[in-house]
Chains A and B, each alone.
Chain A
Amino acid sequence: MKVRLVDIAHARSGDKGDTANVGVIALRPEWYPVLVRELTVERVAAHFRGMITGSVVRYDLPNLHALNFLLHGALDGGGTLSLKTDAQGKVYSTALLRMILDLDAAEVKARGLPAAGD
């Protein structure tokens, strides 16, 4: 069953040099384990293929029901060097939230997750 990440999490992003960070936060504490399981480094790297030149690193913040991703090589050199509209990585947050998760119908029901199209 498809679940849109934007329906179960919110996010904010920023920059450090040529690295963008995306903090993604579960909208409900009981949905955090879904983020922990689904938003693997591999999955996020695949999502941003063609947009970043470096690696992806993930840190977990269970206290805030949040994950922090560092996207290296995301900003065309970063800061003032960058030619990008989003040179400071401000909207990598919503770019991550475009992800669609494929979850078990049983889990969607049990956790009260909003299915896509609902």
Chain B
Amino acid sequence: MKPVVRVASGQGFWGDWLAAPQRQVDGGPIDYLMLDYLAEVTMSILQKQKERDPKMGYARDFVGAVDSVLEGIVRRGVRVVANAGGVNPHGCADAILALAEQRGVRGKLSLGVVTGDDLLPRLDELMAAGHPLASMDTGEPLATVRDRVLSANAYLGSGPIVEALGKGANVVITGRSTDTALTMAPLRFEFGWGDRDWDRLAAGIVAGHIIECGAQCSGGNCLHEWRTIPDLANVGYPIVEANPDGTFAIVKHPGTGGRISVPSVTEQLVYEMGDPHAYITPDVVADFTTIQLEQAGENRVRVFGIKGGPPTDKLKVSIAYRAGFKAVGTLVYSWPDAMDKARLADRVLRERFKMLGLTFEAILTEFVGVNSTHGPLAGDGAGADEVQLRIGVRSPDRTMVERFTRELAPLVLNGPPSVTGFAGGRPKVEDIVAYWPALVDKTVVSPVVEIRS
């Protein structure tokens, strides 16, 4: 058994820094590169892409990421674990194998492909068998939006990833795995943690939570003493340096920017936190009130003391459904009396909606530069040098939203004065794909692991 295993985070979401994976693999010794691509509604975007082209439906950035670290995988034995498969893990594997062919390393890659999370083809069967897939937010059964569902994926845990690694995969591609499993699974595999070793499994989950958002624990988006955080241009993404007993340190490669400190790691620990006593995953329920942090050197935080307990008999399911249309438009008003002009423009617009018979499920006006982020806690905008009027509407009726997008530009000539900032043209009508979190019995989901080379 290795005494220390290093899992590096190279991507915190689909759209994160393209340079990060290679910097993690080339910047110093690591054993695993973990890449997290899937946010809550990403699966539905991928589902739409797959409907247009059956070869698509995965995070295409992943192909470039693997290309940038091929040397490390092939020559230095770095293994990659990513949920880049989206709704088409085998399509993703095809693309990686094609890349390997092109680069002359086809025989050197062994892909572990994890599927079984996709419940879309089985939804009616599941509902008929008495699984309501009720919304965790509202309690409504899925039947209320069934005809608008675009994707449905169960969050899989660490098991199938551990299995793929055990079968020799050096690149593991999953669909909807939990973000934290991507980090915990390699540790469980390397250290042979049992499936009831609650404290260590929980430690692996906490390690995953800390690094799943990339640089957000190593100086990125860090409020604490933000002015003094060095060299963000060259920010080092985090690495978990784990021990068999479940203790670990968060570190980054030498010579990189950013900062790893107790405050920077604490900010990430509380990010998107619910009940800290029960951070529920398919493998274990971790207790975040047991986490101990200690600065153990420059840019090195030791994490220990973590306790966990048995998981529930459910898996979370991420369901996406069509929920109407929206559009958001903006205009900029300048001094003098910028805020008064923007307010008048908003009143004029709303009056015209009435005259035109436009009704919306929601209209939201914000004054950017004054109150768009802190609402009534912020000032009233008196004396503001410039204000961006930002107005959004939402409706199940596309024609209403479409008509709204025609109403902003006329204000430039027929509304309050000192207005500019309309160069972007008419706002775009967006399809709203909303998120429906649900639970399903674990027994009805069967993960599948295939090895391809």
Residue ranges of A at the interface with B (Cβ–Cβ < 8 Å): 10-18, 21, 23, 25, 27, 47-51, 59-66, 68, 70, 76-81, 83-86, 91, 93-95, 98
Contact = CB atoms under 8 A, between A and B. Distances in A.
B427 to A, nearest CB: 12
Nearest to B225: A10
Nearest to A23: B270
Contacts of B274: 16, 21, 70
The main secondary structure of chain B at its interface with chain A is mixed
Interface residues of B, number: 50
B88 interface: no
Given A10-B224, A12-B221, A95 B267 contact: no
Given A50-B375, A80-B433, A95-B377, A10 B364 contact: no
Interface in B286-302: 288-293
A95 B373 CA distance: 8
Given A16-B274, A25-B267, A83-B392, A62 B432 contact: no
Contacts of B263: 10, 25, 27
Contact of A14 (B271, B375, B434): B271
Complex A-B, nearest 6 residue pairs according to Cβ-Cβ distance, in ascending order: A23-B270, A83-B392, A14-B272, A83-B364, A12-B267, A85-B372
Given A62-B289, A66-B270, 13 more contacts: A12-B267, A21-B274, A23-B270, A25-B224, A25-B267, A25-B270, A66-B266, A81-B394, A83-B328, A83-B363, A83-B393, A93-B223, A94-B374
Contact of A91 (B137, B366, B373): B373
**Quick one: which of B221, B270, B276 has the most chain A CB within 10 A?**
B270
A86 B221 CA distance: 15
**Quick one: which of A50, A51, A85 has the most chain B CB within 10 A?**
A85
A51 B224 CA distance: 25
B134 to A, nearest CB: 14
A10 B229 CA distance: 15
Contact of A51 (B277, B293, B377): B377
B125 interface: no
Nearest to B290: A63
A68 B270 contact: yes
18 contacts: A10-B223, A23-B270, A47-B377, A49-B376, A61-B288, A61-B289, A62-B289, A63-B305, A64-B270, A64-B291, A68-B276, A70-B274, A76-B362, A76-B364, A80-B432, A81-B434, A84-B392, A85-B366
A59 B292 CA distance: 17
A21 B328 CA distance: 25
Given A23-B273, A79-B41, A86 B289 contact: no
Contact of A23 (B271, B277, B366): B271
Nearest to B390: A85
A38 to B, nearest CB: 17
B231 interface: no
Interface of B: 40-41, 136-137, 221, 223-224, 263, 266-277, 288-293, 305, 323, 326, 328, 362-364, 366, 368, 372-377, 390, 392-394, 432-435, 437
B219 to A, nearest CB: 13
**Quick one: which of B271, B292, B363 has the most chain A CB within 10 A?**
B271
Contacts of B372: 84-86
Contacts of B292: 63
A71 to B, nearest CB: 12
B127 to A, nearest CB: 22
B366 A80 contact: no
Nearest to B373: A91
A91 B275 contact: no
Contacts of B373: 85-86, 91, 94-95
Contacts of B136: 17
A107 B197 CA distance: 45
Contacts of A13: 271
A115 B410 CA distance: 50
Contacts of A85: 366, 368, 372-373, 390
B270 A21 contact: yes
A51 B376 contact: yes
Contacts of A66: 266, 269-270
A18 to B, nearest CB: 7
Contact of B364 (A23, A47, A84, A91): A84
A8 to B, nearest CB: 12
A106 B359 CA distance: 57
B267 A50 contact: no
Contacts of B368: 85
Given A66-B266, A68-B270, A83 B326 contact: yes
Nearest to B324: A81
A77 B323 CA distance: 11
A60 to B, nearest CB: 8
A76 to B, nearest CB: 6
**Quick one: which of A23, A65, A93 has the most chain B CB within 10 A?**
A23
